[in-house]
Amino acid sequence: MGMLFDSEQEMLAETARGFFAEHAPVAALRKLRDNQDPLAYQPPVWQQMVELGWTAIVFPEAYGGLDFGYKGLGAVFEQAGRTLAATPLFGTVALGGSAILLGGSDAQKEQWLPRIIGGETLFALAVDEKPRHDPKAIALTAQANGDGYVLNGEKHYVVDGTIADQLVVVARTAGQPGDAEGLTLFLVDAKAPGVERLRRTLVDSRNIASIRFSNVAVSASAVIGTVGQGAALLDSVLDRARILQTAEMLGAADWLLETTVAYLKERVQFDVPIGSFQALQHRAAQMYIALEMSRSAVLAALTAIDENSPQLATLASLTKAKVSDTLELISNEAVQMHGGIGMTDELDVGLYLKRARVSQQLFGDASFHRDRYATLRGF
């Protein structure tokens, strides 16, 4: 298992770092937030990302992809995290694209993967129905109706839900909420009759939606995977997304540590830089150690995806728990070490803190993943 980027992945990371610094800096997120932009992303920047081939990284060449692997895509997500770049890459590629790639029929792959790669169609995954992540507590129903299904229920915290053209909806075709059996994934047109989307504003200013499905009719061809056996597919999709999410979180933590250390060298008290105080040096060292341990976990998890490792699920939960803890530590310390200004909106550190809190909760917090890890290991 390779624990480092190879030369091509390093080049991709450097390209992404420069791109996001120039075209999607934190100032761009501030502008989207302050203007209450309904898209919550910049279409020209998205188009440039498509032209750079980043939407094609993980997909097979047969569909126009680059087949460069999730480790390569992780390099992009890490750099996006450094500037809090707001793009549809997570919802469209990590979530929707993974669902089609892993569970889609040949016809679905031929229809949708080229459109994802070309940036023509945006996707979102609609799974959670309650504030706390629980991918098996699905109550939204899909009742058989002739040669199709009718969907009824609600979804919340749908990433990119307000801008998506297509929704991958997790519905219950059998059983009761809490049952792993009876889950089915459906591809639903976001503008279909009966689909009602409501944008939610979270503290990190990202694109999140609540969606109501009222007698939404879909055909049998909308099923992704096998009817009633979608739990395993859903776990596989979520694990890939969680790992890419941790790469983004790693980038945010890296920026916070770098910025905080620079401030410790600049801020003077008692005629000396505060970075010369041993207590602050110890705290900075603890942050650095936690960050490097998290980096190893992220790289191991990304490699596990590309190698189709049987340890993928356990590494996904281990990594999400570890990186969540690290980002909480570093974001808290960054605010405290910057002092009073660290609590103001004037300083970018506060934006990273807000993003950190949302990222920690999305698709399972540290507590959720410790419990899942223990279960997967047989405890």
**Band (18; pLDDT cuts 50, 70, 90):** very high
Tell which of 228, 247, 271 closes a domain. Answer: 228
Question: Could you tell me the CATH number of the domain that includes residue 178?
Answer: 2.40.110.10
Quick check: 149 and 188 in contact, CB under 8 A? no
Question: What is the structure's pLDDT at 297?
Answer: 97
Question: What is the structure's pLDDT at 95?
Answer: 98
Please state, as a whole number, how many other Cβ atoms lie within 10 Å of the Cβ of residue 270: 8
Question: What is the structure's pLDDT at 2?
Answer: 62
- The sign one gets for the Cα dihedral 193, 199, 200, 206 is positive
Q: Return the minimum-mean-pLDDT range out of 25-34, 172-181, 267-276, 314-323.
A: 267-276
Q: Looking at the domain assignment, is residue 70 inside a domain? A: yes
Mean pLDDT, range 277-300, rounded to an integer: 96
Number of domains composing the chain: 3
Cβ-Cβ contacts under 8 Å for 243 (sequence gap 6 or more): 70, 74, 298, 301, 302, 305, 315, 316, 319, 320
Residue 229, strand partner residues: 183
Alpha carbon distance, N-terminus to C-terminus of the chain: 26
Please state, as a whole number, how many other Cβ atoms lie within 10 Å of the Cβ of residue 173: 20
Q: Is the pLDDT confidence value at 342 over 90?
A: no
Q: Please tell me whether residues 44 and 68 are part of one structural domain.
A: yes
Q: What is the distance between the alpha carbons of residues 176 and 182, in angstroms, rounded to a whole number?
A: 8
Tell which of 212, 228, 244 closes a domain. Answer: 228
Quote the percentage of the chain above a pLDDT of 70.
Answer: 99
The distance of Cα 148 from the centroid of its chain, to the nearest Å, equals: 31
**Band (82; pLDDT cuts 50, 70, 90):** very high
Q: Is the pLDDT confidence value at 152 over 70?
A: yes
Q: Please tell me whether residues 216 and 237 are part of one structural domain.
A: no
The pTM score is 0.96
Q: Is the pLDDT confidence value at 3 over 80?
A: no
Q: Is the pLDDT confidence value at 1 over 60?
A: no
Quote the percentage of the chain above a pLDDT of 90.
Answer: 92
Q: Looking at the domain assignment, is residue 2 inside a domain? A: no
Q: What is the distance between the alpha carbons of residues 94 and 211, in angstroms, rounded to a whole number?
A: 20
Beta strands 166-172 and 123-126, pairing class: parallel
Q: Please tell me whether residues 195 and 280 are part of one structural domain.
A: no
Mean pLDDT, range 285-304, rounded to an integer: 97
Q: What is the distance between the alpha carbons of residues 73 and 91, in angstroms, rounded to a whole number?
A: 14
**Band (340; pLDDT cuts 50, 70, 90):** confident
Please state, as a whole number, how many other Cβ atoms lie within 10 Å of the Cβ of residue 16: 24
SS3 84: coil
Q: Please tell me whether residues 257 and 357 are part of one structural domain.
A: yes
Mean pLDDT, range 174-193, rounded to an integer: 97
Angle of helix 70-83 relative to helix 230-266, nearest 10 degrees? 40
The beta strand positions in the chain, using DSSP E, are 123-126, 141-145, 148-159, 166-172, 183-189, 195-200, 208-219, 223-224, 268-269, 272-273
Mean pLDDT, range 205-227, rounded to an integer: 96
Q: Is the pLDDT confidence value at 128 over 90?
A: yes
Question: What is the structure's pLDDT at 275?
Answer: 87
Higher pLDDT, 267 or 51: 51
Find the domain containing 133 and state its range. Answer: 124-228
Average pLDDT of every residue of the chain: 96
